Structure 1
Amino acid sequence: MKTVLIIAGSDPGAGAGLQQDLKTATLLGAYGLTVVTALTVQNSLGVQAVHPVAPEVVAAQLDAALADFPVDAVKIGMLGSAAIVRAVAGRLKTAPPVPLVLDPVLAAGGDGFPLLDEEGVAALKEELFPLTFLLTPNAPEAARLTGLKIETPDHLEDAARRLQAQGPQWVLAKGGHLPGEPVDVLTDGKNSYRLPGTRLKAPHNHGSGCLVATACAAGLAQSLSLPEAVNQARRLAAQALRWGLPLGRGKGPVNPYAPFARDLSRYEALKALSLAARRLQEEDISPLVPEVMTNLGYAAAYAEGPQDVAAFPGRLVKTPQGLVIPAPPAFGASRHIAALILAALEVRPELRAAMNIRYFQGIEELAPLLHLQGVSMDGDWISKAGSPCRAAAWTSQAQDLPWDLLYDSGGFGREPMIYILGVNPMAVAEKALALKNALHAAGKEII
């Protein structure tokens, strides 16, 4: 297993610093070794204090790690003082050369709490820049390190080139702080590459810089090329930002687990769908199957598109002999049910499963008797939105809507339908069966 030597401060909230670095390295398949440079007192509301570790203790930690463990890459984050910068540089100069990724942490991202003074910045440039394979400043850090005003991608590229000329082999200047769509700049001094991104609504972004630098180091430790390592880091950062965790009362941490949790949940999603479909088949839900047939879908954790929603190819089919399941569930099998679930997830992330059944008269009176709540969506509004769930999600009261059942009375070219939502396929199936049994007991007629 390849290793990354992580030299950084400690964050009690584990959103940044050593804790985020360890999570990121581990998720990407690297083993993290750690050297603590400072103990920060912080939470999601900001940094309250910083207690640097004595430089000689930092050096002793480095000596212990380097004397015993193989090191395939180094990631440096917060150092905290010029003395610690010099202690770290002094030890690394005599160590076997490996790719070194330097994240120049100068201030806390949330509240701007200073983490390195001007003497420390000067030492960083003099002592560590010449040892650095990849420097990963954000726009404010690049501005402070160069003295330039950075407001555009052109400014960012100019700053990146100037920083590269001071020693680092490569510079990845991150443009997320600039207005407009984010653009990062990667340069080796000879060639510069602009890497476009997508502006995300990401209020919980604590630790994103640590994640990017460590992901790059983990990739380099595992023999990825520099562009490959950077691309891997940027992909992970985008996912971690999109699914940031609302922990604490302020700015929560990024979530590097999201793409891995999605992958891990895919098998369980298929298994859950198969079990629920068999239950529907055994109890014969076919009286509630509409003319367009029915489908049952389930989204993987942190689903982002139809490719992350599983359903049944060919749908669940009504026959004279009962319900038939033509094929096992598969991801990407139904764009319609996927659109329904993805729209619901925008407002209610726990509602990952859905199915459609025939609309029947009296549903509005019957459902409350089963402790199911439903809401009728206007047909024209549904047509405009593209799905009942999206129509519901577009309403200003979406968070407060009852989401057990959505009623679609139909329209031109659209069969009347009931959409059942739930936290998992079996929960949806049980709601459908409860409706079927209650309908039978009440002698209701399906239109």
Structure 2
Amino acid sequence: MKELFPLALVVTPNIPEAESLSGMKIKKIAHMRKAAEIIFNMGAKNVLVKGGHLQGEEKKVSMDILYDGKKYQEFSAEWIHTKNTHGTGCTFASLLAAGIAQGRNISDAAQFAKIMVTKAINNSISLGKGHGTLNVGIEYYSLKGKNECLLELQKAVNYLMYRKLGKLIPEVSSNLVYAKKDARNEKQVAGFPGRIIRVLDEAHVVTNPQFGASGHMAHVVLTVMKHDASYRSAMNIKYAEKTVDICKKVGFAVKSFDRKDEPIEKKDKEGFSLEWGVNKVLEQSKIIPDIIYDKGGWGKEPMIRVLGKNPLDVVNKIERVFKHL
């Protein structure tokens, strides 16, 4: 070690390794700092003690300590309770080296590695009976999934705009949304800022799709995905009894909810009315319907919501209805 450490830009021991190198027990963060000093004095230019193995109350967070001989820096992340940690140390070291190779300083590279490893652990994969592996490709596939969502939405809305579907746009306008496969919140659901509006007999959008652009329809899709994750897209269209009848005649599964049954505590929260209504329908249905509608309420426009597995699926269903109007 006396010959190796002086050659290294940074040494990254975990808790057991730091205990072995420093000759001391590490039970808390203060001990990590002391161990980092001892290892630094062995010739290392920088020491980063990783706290993933730390026992005790510190397990609420995962804390790493970087020491450069002058000052300490702490890098923390929420502790993720999982057994799928195989390869964590190797992944962290690789990301740290990559960050340095990209021109980052030690501190920035360590922060980069911490963030990326935490994402990989949070999206880890259970394999076999032992410790599962990190999902080291999560960042790439997350970006790829986002781009695919935006492209599919744009294709579908272009298809809509070439047809005179303006009569299906409600007073509050429409929105066509598409969620990422692992969507958990509105920011992971893409839609159209400014919604889809009616211009004479045509449907038009104000700008290109973006993530987090829809609130109400995002709530619809996120609620549906809790029952069937393959249904990731939806669009709201203008309510009319004739339209509902056509939906039934063309063979769509049609369900509805009544806002009169809505609990008061749900009415007071913006967007939660739809979550309640859609969830009520799905809890009573053996399948995911093509259509969920309601006849409105006080200050609420009646609405039809078309569900599908992707934007083109939704648009195709809307066109089938439109042909019979």
TM-score range, shorter chain: 0.7 to 0.9
Which residue in the other structure is 2:61 paired with? 181
In percent, how many aligned pairs have the same letter? 32
Matches within 5 A, 1:257-276: 257-276=137-156
Which residue in the other structure is 1:135 paired with? 11
Matches within 5 A, 1:328-367: 328-341=208-221, 349-359=229-239
| Structure 2: gaps (5+ residues) | none
Matches within 5 A, 1:2-401: 125=1, 128-143=4-19, 145-146=21-22, 148-177=24-53, 178-200=58-80, 204-248=84-128, 250-300=130-180, 306=186, 308-341=188-221, 349-359=229-239, 370=251, 372=253, 376=257, 379-380=262-263, 382-383=266-267, 384=269, 386-387=271-272, 391=276
Range 347-356 or range 257-266, more displaced: 347-356
Q: Give 2:47's aligned amino acid.
A: V
Q: Give 2:313's aligned amino acid.
A: A
- The answer (yes or no) to whether the contact 1:270–1:310 under 8 Å persists in 2 is yes
Which residue in the other structure is 1:55 paired with? none
Count of residue pairs the alignment pairs up: 314
**SS of aligned partner of 1:277:** helix
Identify if the C-alpha distance between structure 1 residues 126 and 310 changes in structure 2 by more than 3 Å, giving closer, same or farther. same
Identify if the C-alpha distance between structure 1 residues 136 and 358 changes in structure 2 by more than 3 Å, giving closer, same or farther. farther
Q: Give 1:163's aligned amino acid.
A: I
Identify if the C-alpha distance between structure 1 residues 126 and 412 changes in structure 2 by more than 3 Å, giving closer, same or farther. farther
Deviation at 1:320, TM superposition (A): 3.6
**SS of aligned partner of 2:59:** coil
Q: Does 1:422 align with 2:308?
A: yes
Which residue in the other structure is 1:79 paired with? none
- Distance (Å, rounded) in 1 between the aligned partners of 2:207 and 2:88: 42
- The answer (yes or no) to whether the contact 1:341–1:389 under 8 Å persists in 2 is no
Q: Give 2:314's aligned amino acid.
A: V
**SS of aligned partner of 1:209:** helix
Identify if the C-alpha distance between structure 1 residues 365 and 275 changes in structure 2 by more than 3 Å, giving closer, same or farther. closer
- The answer (yes or no) to whether the contact 2:235–2:307 under 8 Å persists in 1 is yes
Identify if the C-alpha distance between structure 1 residues 227 and 323 changes in structure 2 by more than 3 Å, giving closer, same or farther. same
Q: CA offsets, 1:313-370, max 9 Å, x none?
A: 2211134423223333234433444455456556755444332234555959956973
- Distance (Å, rounded) in 1 between the aligned partners of 2:170 and 2:65: 53
Range 252-261 or range 278-287, more displaced: 278-287
Identify if the C-alpha distance between structure 1 residues 289 and 144 changes in structure 2 by more than 3 Å, giving closer, same or farther. farther
Deviation at 1:205, TM superposition (A): 3.4
Q: Give 1:357's aligned amino acid.
A: I
- The answer (yes or no) to whether the contact 1:286–1:322 under 8 Å persists in 2 is yes
- Distance (Å, rounded) in 1 between the aligned partners of 2:19 and 2:77: 21
Q: Give 1:175's aligned amino acid.
A: G
**SS of aligned partner of 2:51:** coil
Structure 1 ranges of 4+ moved more than 6 A? 392-398
Deviation at 1:151, TM superposition (A): 4.3
Q: Give 1:135's aligned amino acid.
A: V
Q: 1:432 aligns with which of 314, 318, 321?
A: 318
**SS of aligned partner of 1:297:** strand
Deviation at 1:255, TM superposition (A): 1.6
TM-score, normalised relative to structure 1 = 0.57
Deviation at 1:156, TM superposition (A): 3.2
Q: Give 2:135's aligned amino acid.
A: N
Identify if the C-alpha distance between structure 1 residues 313 and 244 changes in structure 2 by more than 3 Å, giving closer, same or farther. same
- Distance (Å, rounded) in 1 between the aligned partners of 2:280 and 2:179: 20
Identify if the C-alpha distance between structure 1 residues 135 and 428 changes in structure 2 by more than 3 Å, giving closer, same or farther. farther
- Distance (Å, rounded) in 2 between the aligned partners of 1:150 and 1:402: 53
Identify if the C-alpha distance between structure 1 residues 282 and 242 changes in structure 2 by more than 3 Å, giving closer, same or farther. same
Q: CA offsets, 1:236-286, max 9 Å, x none?
A: 212222322344455432222222223334443333112211333344444
Which residue in the other structure is 1:10 paired with? none
Identify if the C-alpha distance between structure 1 residues 219 and 314 changes in structure 2 by more than 3 Å, giving closer, same or farther. same
Which residue in the other structure is 1:112 paired with? none
